[in-house]
Amino acid sequence: MSALLEKQQAFAIAAAQLVLHAKEIGLPLTDGDAYRDPRLHGEFGEKKAYGEANSCHKLRLARDFNLVIDGQLAPPSAYAPLHDYWESIGGSKRILKDMNHFSFEHNGFR
């Protein structure tokens, strides 16, 4: 089994743990972007559409979640407890300009 495949499997489990943790603390999530298909977004390292050329979404190592509070998309600061948990289970550090993004680092990219 490849190292990338093992990391993808671990990421899937961690994302599920994050969703369950968010529900437990009263911050239920909805899905945002997950896998970015190379036919639309380009291969890793190539920029064809929105997003970064080296996005971990293209490697199945990133997922965006939306936090809706009282019918409104929550401000970035509301994601802090989720990122604290994410980092505690091995996820990449938060990206302040993209707080709904949760990823595993791969070759220096997150």
List the domain boundaries for the chain: 3-30+62-103
- The pLDDT of residue 1: 75
Strand 72-73 versus strand 101-103 pairing type: unpaired
pTM assigned to the model: 0.93
- The pLDDT of residue 9: 98
**Length of the chain, in residues:** 110
**Cα distance between residue 30 and residue 90, in whole Å:** 21
Residue pLDDT tens, the chain, 110 long? 799 999 999 999 999 999 999 999 999 899 999 999 989 898 999 999 888 889 999 999 999 999 999 999 999 999 999 999 999 999 999 999 999 999 999 999 99
SS3 (DSSP) at 66 = strand
**Cα distance between residue 50 and residue 98, in whole Å:** 14
Identity of residue 52? E
Strand partners for 109: 106
**Cα distance between residue 31 and residue 100, in whole Å:** 10
Residue (of 95, 21, 30) closest to 69 by Cα position: 30
- The pLDDT of residue 2: 93
Do the beta carbons of residue 41 and residue 92 sit within 8 Å? no
